[in-house]
Structure 1
């Protein structure tokens, strides 16, 4: 996996987990944190800030470690991976987050396209 792909995947996982956490853990205390991205023992000089509850932070850290350890040069989606590295319980939890957030991001994307289209014609 290239460094750019690694950074993109880290940001994508974070976006999905943040959306899930904001919606599902409304009353849970969240703390501001950051991750310094490292890939193949190399500091990428890229820091990502985020605001998550403890449970979602744990999920993000777990996902980050698994992304770092991915053995594939051309990384498939984890769902299609011939050698999944996630523990079954963690994989099910992240799959739930991805389904939840993916649906909302898809709906938001459609909503924004429709809004722009109607705004242009008005």
Structure 2
């Protein structure tokens, strides 16, 4: 996977986890992640609860270890690297946040047109 794709995937995970955790959990705290991939390095400060930090950290590790040169969507991957329980947890977060973030984008577009 390209460094640009890696960065895009990291930003997507961050956006989805932050939305989910803000809506569902308390006791959030900031944690700094230093993520390296090939020649690329990125530092992210993310505010989540303990469970969400554990899950996003696991997701970052899976992403860094993705063996595909052209990364497929995880749900369409022929050789998934997520454990089933972790995958179910991530799918729940992605489903919840995806719907809400999509609705936020629609609301923004409607306000601009009127």
TM-score bracket for the superposition, by shorter chain length: over 0.9
Give the TM-score, by structure 2 length.
Answer: 0.96
The Cα offsets for residues 17-74 of structure 1, whole Å up to 9 and x where unpaired, read as 110000011xx2111111112014x4x3421111010000001100000000000000
**1:107: which partner in 2?**
103
Matched residue SS, 1:64: helix
Compute the RMSD of aligned alpha carbons.
0.9
Alignment partners' CA distance in 2, 1:109 and 1:15: 13
* Equivalent in 32, 35, 38 of residue 33 of structure 2: 35
Unaligned 5+ segments in structure 2 are: none
Greater gyration radius: 1
Superposition deviation, residue 75 in structure 1:
0.3
Unaligned 5+ segments in structure 1 are: none
Alignment partners' CA distance in 1, 2:111 and 2:73: 31
**2:80: which partner in 1?**
84
Superposition deviation, residue 11 in structure 1:
1.1
